[in-house]
Structure 1
Amino acid sequence: MYFKSLQILRGIAALAVVLYHIYIYLVLIGNNSENSFKIFKENLAYGALFFIVLSGFLMSYLIDIDYKHFLRRRILRIYPTYIITVILVIFFKVMIFGSIENQKLYLAITLLPLGELQYPVGIEWTLIYEVFFYFICSFFTTRILKRFYLFFLILWLNIIIIGYFIFHTPTLLKPDISSIFLSSFNLLFISGGIAYFIAKKIENPNKIYDYFWMIIAFCLLLLSNISPSILFKNLMLGTGFSLIIVIRYLRDKYPNKKKNLLFIEKIISLGERFGDYSYGLYLVHVPIITVIFSISKNMLNLPISSKICFISLVISLFGGWHYGRMELYIYKKLKMLVQ
């Protein structure tokens, strides 16, 4: 089943991450936090966390439907285009800046939890967790063990909570092998995974309640901003995003037969395609932003203004769209090899 609404949500999350990174590198490279892009602050970083929740939901779905060659296909989705991106980033940075410093690159591109490494693309922390999730899920892709997957997710959730309060386990963007299993970022994945099994039990939902649950979801997202604890923050984010995903999943499963206006259909179709190509955009947007900002500041001696930020946004979206199309094409061809 193809989840149109979830792809649109994925596209929105990707756009949020791009806007957030423009602001972050505006501060880091341009030493400027006062232009019009300052409104795109920390909350838009939640787009990356939404990807993790959505991944948990979709992995539960794939396990539930006995998706064939699970681990091989997941690896083919992540690694080939990522490696191509790393090669392109190194090539262009050497061409533009003359050199690139990256110690232990051979370890960084494995996307394994190896602690504090310098990563070439700049978004690898989520991919490290994603690859770890795939590895965990692969144990439950057999008919014998799949029935225990939901139980495992609930058990894992409780182990993380206990570990947080008893052992004070850290939540790291660059985890090592000893810390990744108990990281509270896993709560996002677990929340999405459990949400799938709840959604699966709901039949013919009353759409009136969608608005109620959506309000609850946004309240949880707002409360996550004031939580002093990273554990509770991730729990609230995971639950809030899961509610949104379940609502949209049920809309796809039980579609409204009423037709939308033509221009709304075109916007929906555009959002869907944007979601389809979001992995490619996710891979290339940070290198595009940082190269444009560095050229502006260090080579052209120009301040990183709102105009430069807007140019970086347009180029990131344009480049990410076409790179995403290529990525999806490559993945579909590679996936055919393991059918």
Structure 2
Amino acid sequence: MEIRKLNSLRGMAALIVFVTHFSDITQWLGGAFGGGAGAYGVMLFFMLSGFLMSYLYLDKDFGTNSVKRYLVARFARVVPLYVLVVLASFALTKFGSDLLYHIPDHQALLGHLLFLYGDSVLWSIPPEVQFYFVFVLLWALAANRRGYIYILIVGCLLLLFFTNFPRIYGDIYGVPYNQFTVLRSLPYFFIGVVFGLHYKTLAIPAYLKKHRFAFVLCLIPLMYPELSPITSDAKNRMWLSYEVLLVMSCVFFCVVFLVPDNNVLLANKVGDFFGKISYSLYLLHMPVIMQVNRFELAVEVKLVLSLILSAACAYLSFICLERPLARAIRKRANAH
């Protein structure tokens, strides 16, 4: 069963990253929407990912065939377009162009293809893929000992907190790796998993389901470093702040559990469109913004042009590459 309002949330996550990078690159409004605040969009992506995996799979029998179908589905959804972008970036970099992303040598290429490291926005794909395998462990626990999932999650959160999120990064024979980005992302996947566990069973009283809870999304810009009334270092630590985790979890909970499914702000065709192209938009918007910024145009014109071109590229990528490749992989896997 599709939860339509999550399409808009996914699209909103991609647009948060887009606006942040546009603000950083062009210094639109003095960079007020930048300062690394695109992290909040990626946090939404990770919570959505954990939620949907939990919602879709934890009630299913755990077995070899089920796990195979799950891994194929997740692989088909994320990996093909990512690999194409990585290979294209490597080829362009070798020819002296950073039109896409900077992947200068075979070691950097291998780091990307092994999901150990990512340049620019590509950094978020290794944590996503690595969590797919962590989720298999959670799924195995859910088969007979679901309660242990909570113990494991709480234990991991405490361990990360008391070890100050270990900075595990470097290179092996020149191949870069960065497990720090994975560790700092885990809490957001875990929160999504916990919410997914309870989505079908948690009985929310009818009087609590209100359309106005959609405005909880306004809390996200209140955490932007240049806009936030918060005076602690939480607004700058972002990924390493459990205060930020609390706020983002509250936002996610309200949207998923308290906002009615037919909310016009979240269940609409515009949200469906941006949700559908969100992955391609996330991977491709940076090169578009960089190219548009070369032109001598008013910054507002650059914003509109960058958004239109990014959405157009993302849509073409979705219909010509992302969706056909995913279907072909799933079809081939099901044929065996």
- 2:199 paired residue number: 199
- 2:58 paired residue number: 64
Deviation, 1:200, is: 2.2
Q: Deviations over 1:32-81 (max 9, x none)?
A: x2x44744334454111110111111111122242831122212221111
Give the secondary-structure state (helix, strand or coil) at the position aligned to 1:112.
coil
- 2:249 paired residue number: 239
Q: Quick check: 1:17–1:48 contact (8 Å CA) kept in 2? A: yes
* Amino acid corresponding to residue 122 of structure 2 in structure 1: E
Give the secondary-structure state (helix, strand or coil) at the position aligned to 1:168.
coil
- 1:315 paired residue number: 309
Deviation, 1:213, is: 6.1
Q: Distance in 1 between matches of 2:47 and 2:134?
A: 15
- 1:228 paired residue number: 233
Deviation, 1:147, is: 4.0
Q: Distance in 2 between matches of 1:238 and 1:111?
A: 30
- 1:29 paired residue number: none
- 2:237 paired residue number: none
Deviation, 1:8, is: 1.5
Q: Aligned pair in 2 of structure 1 residues 218, 202: CA closer, same or farther (>3 Å)? A: farther
Q: Quick check: 2:220–2:248 contact (8 Å CA) kept in 1? A: no
Q: Distance in 2 between matches of 1:58 and 1:24?
A: 31
- 1:152 paired residue number: 149
Q: Aligned pair in 2 of structure 1 residues 71, 139: CA closer, same or farther (>3 Å)? A: farther
207-216 or 280-289, larger mean C-alpha shift? 207-216
Q: Quick check: 2:214–2:254 contact (8 Å CA) kept in 1? A: yes
* Amino acid corresponding to residue 239 of structure 1 in structure 2: S
Q: Quick check: 1:53–1:188 contact (8 Å CA) kept in 2? A: yes
Q: Distance in 2 between matches of 1:51 and 1:65?
A: 22
Q: Distance in 1 between matches of 2:158 and 2:132?
A: 22
- 2:34 paired residue number: 41
Deviation, 1:203, is: 3.7
- 1:336 paired residue number: 331
* Amino acid corresponding to residue 21 of structure 2 in structure 1: H
- Aligned mate of 1:107, from 107, 110, 129: 110
Q: Distance in 2 between matches of 1:41 and 1:223?
A: 11
* Amino acid corresponding to residue 329 of structure 2 in structure 1: L
* Amino acid corresponding to residue 251 of structure 1 in structure 2: P
Deviation, 1:137, is: 0.9
Q: Distance in 2 between matches of 1:223 and 1:240?
A: 13
Q: Aligned pair in 2 of structure 1 residues 150, 106: CA closer, same or farther (>3 Å)? A: farther
Q: Distance in 2 between matches of 1:178 and 1:3?
A: 32
Show structure 1 runs of 5+ residues with no match. Answer: 27-32, 297-301
Deviation, 1:190, is: 0.9
* Amino acid corresponding to residue 241 of structure 2 in structure 1: L
Q: Distance in 1 between matches of 2:269 and 2:212?
A: 27
Show structure 2 runs of 5+ residues with no match. Answer: 171-175, 235-239
Q: Distance in 2 between matches of 1:210 and 1:173?
A: 45
- 2:173 paired residue number: none
Deviation, 1:193, is: 0.9
Q: Distance in 2 between matches of 1:37 and 1:102?
A: 32
271-280 or 215-224, larger mean C-alpha shift? 215-224
Q: Aligned pair in 2 of structure 1 residues 172, 12: CA closer, same or farther (>3 Å)? A: farther
Give the secondary-structure state (helix, strand or coil) at the position aligned to 1:139.
helix
Deviation, 1:179, is: 4.6
Identity %: 22
Q: Distance in 1 between matches of 2:181 and 2:146?
A: 19
- Cα RMSD of the aligned pairs, angstroms, is 3.7
